[in-house]
Amino acid sequence: MKNIARLMLIVIMLILLAACGKKSNVLYVFNWSDYINPDLVKQFEEAYDCEVRESYFESNENMLTKIESSRQAYDIIVPSGDHVTILVQKGLLEPLDKSKLTNYGNLDPQLLLKAQSFDPENKFSVPYFWGITGLMYNKKHVPQSLIEQKSWSILGDDYFSGKQKVTMLEDAREVIGAALIFAGHDLNDASEAALADAEKILDIWDKNITQYDSESYKNEVADGTSWLAQAYNGDALQQMAQNSDLDFFLPVEGSSLWMDNMVILKSSQNKELAYKFIDFLLEAENAKLNAEYTQYPTPNKAAYDHLDETQKMNELIYPSPEYLEKCTMIQFLGEKIRGVDALFEKIRLN
């Protein structure tokens, strides 16, 4: 019996020693991939003697499903604007205590005003990055003559027929939105007539589409598995910095305008650390480093003012006012989203 008791004591001591060796202060972040400077994460962990555990999603729809079905208690997530509205309506978000965000004043007031279209009074969300969606391509495989028009029409071009070298995002709003814009509609128009026009275009494009994917295209265009891909501008620019064969353009017809945001889940087990993390990323120098890493336009005015002029003048990152007039913010559609989702599923299953 003494031996058994001694063994049990040793086991308990080992468990306690192992526990002491782990950080109990853990922050769970659910984000898009390649969407934060890893050096900043390390700096935060060192500054606050904590661990940041990151998980990734490929679409807002995927994120929402995971949150509603998983037992994982995420602290911070990074949804796009329309899904901020959905998360608020579902009662999943913590109202922000802005007194805990000392760097909140660094945000651009004009972009905060735009964010009120999906989060009135900016009550639940903090703008993280915004951006535009366009088309990334491999110059080795796509002739310049096809690119010159810089149109969404390239997705259905006969040049790609039978090659299975074109991809679009796994995102109903982006795919349907591109077709709506090309058809001359607002990308938030979910009327039967508009969706019928979009379907005709998507039927043509889909003949060239290999897959609808928001992650693997980043590497596949680079290695020639795909030649052309609908892409977020920052993702494309990150890849272009590593591979001179890649390029990107914004379609002349216009595109989607979106804003991703940091929010704290009501179910968060570490809200105080979540506030510290958000405030850390809002600090001007940290936000600048983050913008330089992701290649996305920052809503942080204090950070923007200190960016290199080359980055600020790059119209693939910060499009001209004239081009932005052609772009529309993706908005919450309420029950009308059913028609968009149904069309996307139909196209994907064709």
Is residue 12 domain-resident?
no
pLDDT digits (tens, 9 = 90+) for 258-284: 999 999 999 999 999 999 999 999 999
**Residue ranges making up the domain that contains 73:** 25-130+258-317
pLDDT digit string (tens) for 54-63? 999 999 999 9
Residue 14 domain-assigned?
no
Taking 70 as the threshold, does the pLDDT of residue 15 lie above it?
Answer: no
Q: Check whether residue 333 and residue 306 sit in a common domain.
A: no
Give the number of domains in the chain. 2
Residues 36 and 139 in one domain: no
User: For 110-115, what is the mean pLDDT?
Assistant: 95
Flag whether 17 is in a domain: no
Q: Which residues contact 205 (CB under 8 A, 6 or more apart)?
A: 155, 156, 166, 168, 179
Same domain, 61 and 171: no
Q: Buried (b) or exposed (e) across 256-295, using 16+ Cβ within 10 A?
A: bbbbbbbbbbeebebbebbbbbbbbbbbbebbbbbbebbb
Is 333 contained in some domain? yes
The string of pLDDT tens digits covering residues 158-174 is 999 999 999 999 999 99
Q: Please, what sign has the CA dihedral across residues 180, 178, 349, 337?
A: negative
Report pTM. Answer: 0.88
Pairing mode, strands 126-138 and 256-264: antiparallel
pLDDT at 203: 97
* CATH number assigned to the domain comprising residue 303: 3.40.190.10
The answer to the question of residue 195 being in a domain is: yes
Predicted local distance difference test score (pLDDT) of residue 8: 52
Query: Residues 190, 215: one domain?
Result: yes
Q: Are residues 114 and 231 in the same domain?
A: no
Average pLDDT, the chain: 93
Are 237 and 342 in a shared domain?
A: yes
Q: Are residues 266 and 250 in the same domain?
A: no
Amino acid 72: pLDDT: 75
Task: For residues 340 and 235, state if they share a domain.
Answer: yes
Q: Do both 31 and 169 map to the same domain?
A: no
| Domain membership flag for residue 307 | yes
For residue 212, pLDDT beyond 70: yes
pLDDT in tens, 62-104: 999 999 987 778 999 999 999 999 999 999 999 999 999 999 9
- What is the model's pLDDT at position 304? 97
Same domain, 81 and 148: no
Instruction: Give just the sign of the alpha carbon dihedral 208, 212, 215, 216.
Output: negative
Q: Quick check: is 46 in a domain?
A: yes
Query: Average pLDDT for residues 27-50, to the nearest whole number?
Result: 97
Instruction: Give which of 268, 262, 306 is closest to 284, Cα–Cα.
Output: 306
pLDDT category, 24, cuts 50, 70, 90?
Answer: low
Residues 340 and 221 in one domain: yes
Do 344 and 212 lie in a common domain? yes
